[in-house]
Chains A and B, each alone.
Chain A
Amino acid sequence: MFSPELKKGSTEMLVLSLLEARARHGYEIGKLIESRSQGRITFALPTLYPLLLKLENRGWIKGRWVEKPGQRDRCFYRLTPEGRKILAQQRDTWRAFVAAVDDVLSGSDA
């Protein structure tokens, strides 16, 4: 019922959800995951960056170079409308998965 891609999908979901509120650059995404998970989840650059490219290739996110005065040029990624749809689906799937796992775990005696 739940695809074996689930775990991989969860990484994708993490990135997509971080971009839901606003556009962020690659390093920022990595740092955010680390800080929000209080260091429990870390993505090294070699893992995260190809993922960003993959998501961009699928058309879920879009990178754009932004020049801000006084700052270095950075590539900011934002969610595309399709990415938004995918994120909603993945959230639903994730919640269903977590609920199912919960049911299984809590009903272990029944």
Chain B
Amino acid sequence: MRDWQAYVRSRLSLPDLTPEREARIVRELAAQVEDCYRDGVARGLSEPEADAFARAQVRDWPRLARDVQRADRAHLQPRLERVANRLDAAPGPSAGVFQMLAQVPLTIRIAVRSLLHTPGFTAVVVLTLAIGIGATTAIFSVVNAVLLNPLPYPTADRLQMIWVTNPRQEIDKDVTSYPTFLDWQRQATTFQAMAAETGTNFTLTGSGEPKLVPGAYVTGRYFDLFGTPALHGRTLQESDAAAGRDRLLVLGYGLWRDHFGGDPAVIGRTFAVNAQPFEIVGVMPERFSEITTTQAWALLLPSGPFAGLMQSRSTKWLEVTGVLQDGISPQSAHREMTTIMARLAEEYSGRYDGEGILLEPLKDTITGDARPTLLLLAGVVITVLLIVCANVAGLLVARLSSRRHEMAVRVAIGAGRGHLIRPLLIESAVLGAAGAAAGLALAAWGLRALVAFRPANLPRVDEIQMSVETLAFAVVTGLIAALAFGLLPAIGLLRRDPAAGLRDEARGSIGSGGGSVRRALVVAEIALACVLVTAAGLLVRSFGAMQSDDPGFERERLYTMRLTLPGARYPEAQQRRAFFDTLTERIEAIPGVERAGVLSSLMLGRRTNSASLRIEGAAQPPPGTPNEPVTMDVASRSAFEAFGVPLTRGRLFSSGDTPESRPVAIVNEAFVRRFSPDQDPIGKRVTFDGFNAAEPAWVTIVGVVADTRRSGFETPVRDEMYFPLSQGGPSSMMVVVRTHGAPEPIVALVRQAVSSLDPLLAIAQPRTIQQVVAGGMAEERFRMTLVAGFAATAMLLAALGVYGVMAFATTQRRREFGVRLALGDTPRGVLLTVMRDGLLLAGVGLVVGLAAAIAAARAMRQMLFGISPFDPVTFGLMAAALLAVAALASFMPARRAMKVDPMVTLSR
């Protein structure tokens, strides 16, 4: 006789009923069919005949299944389970990709519902992923726009800056002179075009208030470099230069839009630029202008204001950019330029000694300053993303282990491994997609915040946007993170014997919960957090050191602005001196003003006027000796008192220092330390004419002032020399006004003083000293704040990780704790056991992380001020903070462990 139960089970499928009910129905139907068979045999049928008779009782099994399921409503499974079972009953992948694809929406719905069953878990995972993906996307959008995207010019990949180097003088990047540029342009064949430029400020008058505009004088082929046509009108051309047309101006988009109302009719009109009539010939498109701050271009011609400079082969002042010929590599261009320099060195003996060439892609020049900060941030967010992945993995492992029994049952009743893994994967994918979506929203918000909060020197800001690449990056990151970490625990699950899962459950144990995997993940999280917290700590300490550092000048009661006198109206040095002297007097007459003065520069940029000098009587240095240049400045008599820089030796400039008296200078302490460490510098004479000059022009040092940190906090104090305004007469000066109280109330009066002297003069950079200093530290503040924010996030995530593992481990060990308490251990003992475990995890993470943190600190050396990258305080605090967080995170589960009631635990 056949096994009727097997017969019925193979034909009757009741996926909508509970398994128990299905089993009963199969059993009962089998019994009835068997009754029928036995009946047949009893009536004299042969066994095969009886068998056929019995089987003939039910011809349409699917219909019977349908009728049974319809009749047996009370035993239907919950709808969700029914759908899942139908999926399981469906043929596997071998039945065709289409079928599988057809099931995907359904599977996703199941996954979503299953996730909504555990809203806490889902929220934490999605939020964690969102933080990681959002931060990564935001930062990488910036990195992408600023560092990676090509410049928006057709010739972008062929544009090279051509710098002069002088290894002997430790100069790695210098500008060049006009005659040198002309020689390069004539001789170089590897460049399709070459152009030189020098930055300037144009004063626009005639429409509204006088406006100072950042601009540039450029040589004839400048616009040929970029291959970008003008938006309106035309660009400046070589033919203009050849014809000597020096009163043509091309406007940047921003200036045209803001100052000229975006009116295309400005083309061909004439405006007063530096008090001279200039014809506007063109407007550049928006994308061209957004790369630089330059908003107006005029031709650099011998008839213009630079006639004298353009004659000098020794004065370096021009930045040169070239566009390579198609197919020429930068290397071969570099070889050619080096040959040209060698030829020039031979031709003009002594003039080009030790000089070489550096070719730098224009993009690197533009983005150079922002690069370290952006790379730091990129590293930081990737670390955060790794922590996020570890955290999500930990959560998924924990979730899976709590479903181990369910999985074991499903395996036991015959579910295939594919059927087990597929829903897990889909769940992970759903989590990843939700995380990516939330992260993208976060990124959009974060990006706006980043751009609003950026330091002023971040280039290409207008190009920053959430790009398609970044979008793809976020989604792929989210999916990979979730899929990888959904698969990892699932594989672990499959390797285990399902029966073990059932046995564990029977014993009331929860299973290991992927314990070792989760511990490893937590150790990794702490190690990564360790790196971030160290980086943040170093930046915070460095920023603190900067703020408390004495810059050597007045930091509170100062108001400053830049005035540039147009050469057309102030052609003589005497006129310019007179203007600044009168202005100083008028400002000092304002009530509330303590002292006023003028200084050629306030804060020193990367490149400032500098020259190499020789001290009278000093021996000629052997060739090849590095000869650091000295920074040169012009100051009025009262400038040092106004700026708050004390005199340490000798005297300040006086009214006796006139163009007719002997040239004098004041130096700073750093200068004395280098050039005259053992002798009194007062009365010493220096010259800039080199050792070979027949009749050097000597300058006598009459005073020494204290050092100032004018060149920024991260660079050492430079050697400085100040020349008196009364013996010179530069056209562009910073006005420095020291007030009795807060500077803000007198601002309007100072402006009045300026316009009473010259109503056509534009005031540039009007700022209080706090604004100036804050501007100088904006980049430090920016990266400190961001890194600190990410470090705090990392610490929070690591704490969550520790808490998760400890809470789980504690629940798992309830029985053990119960036994221990029953056997006389104190609650305190239990508490300490748990805490020790948590701290051990943190300790291991700390040791691993320390090595990485040291490497990271070493890489950050350039960004630190006033502290060592291995600052013991930072490292100590970092370790203490992480241990404290880990202790706190394990204390909560530990306290629960301590309160275990042995009676309750053991009786379960």
Q: CB < 8 Å: which of B31, B39, B60, B68 contacts A53? A: B68
Within 8 Å CB of A27, what residues of B? 31-32, 35-36, 39
A46 touches B64 (CB 8 A): yes
Q: CB < 8 Å: which of B27, B64, B73 contacts A57? A: B73
A74 touches B71 (CB 8 A): no
- Does B899 touch A at the CB level, under 8 Å? no
CA distance A61 to B201 in the complex (A): 101
- Does A75 touch B at the CB level, under 8 Å? yes
Within 8 Å CB of B27, what residues of A? 73, 75
Give 15 pairs: A residue, B residue, CB < 8 Å, sorted on A: A25-B31, A25-B32, A26-B28, A26-B31, A31-B39, A46-B57, A49-B29, A49-B64, A50-B64, A50-B71, A57-B72, A57-B73, A63-B28, A73-B27, A75-B24
- Does B693 touch A at the CB level, under 8 Å? no
Number of A-B contacts (CB under 8 A): 60
- Does B33 touch A at the CB level, under 8 Å? yes
Known: A26-B32, A46-B64, A72-B31. A53 touches B72 (CB 8 A): yes
User: For residue B57, which residue of chain A has the nearest CB?
Assistant: A45
- Does B58 touch A at the CB level, under 8 Å? yes
Within 8 Å CB of B319, what residues of A? none
How many residues from A make CB contacts under 8 Å with B?
19
CA distance A5 to B57 in the complex (A): 26
A50 touches B34 (CB 8 A): no
CA distance A26 to B59 in the complex (A): 18
Within 8 Å CB of B36, what residues of A? 27, 45
- Does A96 touch B at the CB level, under 8 Å? no
Q: Chain B nearest CB: distance from A15 CB in Å? A: 13
- Does B109 touch A at the CB level, under 8 Å? no
CA distance A31 to B57 in the complex (A): 13
A46 touches B28 (CB 8 A): no
Within 8 Å CB of B72, what residues of A? 50, 53-54, 57
B31 touches A50 (CB 8 A): no
Q: Chain B nearest CB: distance from A53 CB in Å? A: 4
- Does B468 touch A at the CB level, under 8 Å? no
5 nearest CB pairs, A to B? A27-B35, A54-B71, A50-B67, A50-B71, A53-B71
A75 touches B31 (CB 8 A): yes
CA distance A73 to B4 in the complex (A): 14
- Does B70 touch A at the CB level, under 8 Å? yes
CA distance A25 to B39 in the complex (A): 15
Within 8 A of A (CB), among B53-67: 57-60, 63-64, 67
Chain B residues proximal to chain A, CB less than 8 Å: 24-25, 27-29, 31-36, 39, 57-60, 63-64, 67-68, 70-75
- Does A51 touch B at the CB level, under 8 Å? yes
- What 0/1 pattern do residues 84 to 101 of A give for CB contact below 8 A with B? 000000000000000000
A49 touches B68 (CB 8 A): yes
Within 8 Å CB of A50, what residues of B? 64, 67-68, 70-72
Chain B interface SS verdict (over half): helix
Q: Chain B nearest CB: distance from A72 CB in Å? A: 6
Within 8 Å CB of B63, what residues of A? 46
B31 touches A74 (CB 8 A): yes
- Does A44 touch B at the CB level, under 8 Å? yes
Chain A residues proximal to chain B, CB less than 8 Å: 25-27, 30-31, 44-46, 49-51, 53-54, 57, 63, 72-75
User: For residue A47, which residue of chain B has the nearest CB?
Assistant: B67
CA distance A59 to B364 in the complex (A): 84
B67 touches A46 (CB 8 A): yes
Q: Chain A nearest CB: distance from B29 CB in Å? A: 6
CA distance A44 to B54 in the complex (A): 11
Known: A46-B60, A75-B28. A51 touches B35 (CB 8 A): no
B32 touches A72 (CB 8 A): no
CA distance A25 to B34 in the complex (A): 13
A73 touches B57 (CB 8 A): no
B57 touches A44 (CB 8 A): yes
Within 8 Å CB of B24, what residues of A? 75
Within 8 Å CB of A30, what residues of B? 32
Within 8 Å CB of B64, what residues of A? 46, 49-50
CA distance A57 to B72 in the complex (A): 6
B74 touches A57 (CB 8 A): yes
Q: Chain A nearest CB: distance from B67 CB in Å? A: 4
CA distance A45 to B25 in the complex (A): 13
Within 8 Å CB of A73, what residues of B? 27, 31
CA distance A73 to B24 in the complex (A): 12
With most chain B CB atoms within 10 A of its CB, the pick from A50, A54, A72 is A50
Q: Chain A nearest CB: distance from B774 CB in Å? A: 79
Q: Chain B nearest CB: distance from A60 CB in Å? A: 13
CA distance A75 to B67 in the complex (A): 19
Within 8 Å CB of B71, what residues of A? 50-51, 53-54, 57
CA distance A53 to B22 in the complex (A): 12
CA distance A44 to B71 in the complex (A): 16
Given contacts A46-B67, A50-B71, A63-B28, 4 further A-B contacts (CB under 8 A): A30-B32, A45-B58, A57-B73, A73-B31
Within 8 Å CB of A46, what residues of B? 57-60, 63-64, 67
A72 touches B58 (CB 8 A): no
Within 8 Å CB of B73, what residues of A? 57
A72 touches B68 (CB 8 A): no
CA distance A51 to B57 in the complex (A): 16
User: For residue A30, which residue of chain B has the nearest CB?
Assistant: B32
CA distance A49 to B14 in the complex (A): 14
Within 8 Å CB of A54, what residues of B? 71-72
User: For residue A48, which residue of chain B has the nearest CB?
Assistant: B32
CA distance A50 to B29 in the complex (A): 11
Known: A45-B58, A46-B63, A57-B74. A72 touches B28 (CB 8 A): no
User: For residue A29, which residue of chain B has the nearest CB?
Assistant: B32
Within 8 Å CB of B31, what residues of A? 25-27, 72-75
Within 8 Å CB of A26, what residues of B? 28, 31-32
A45 touches B33 (CB 8 A): yes
A45 touches B67 (CB 8 A): no
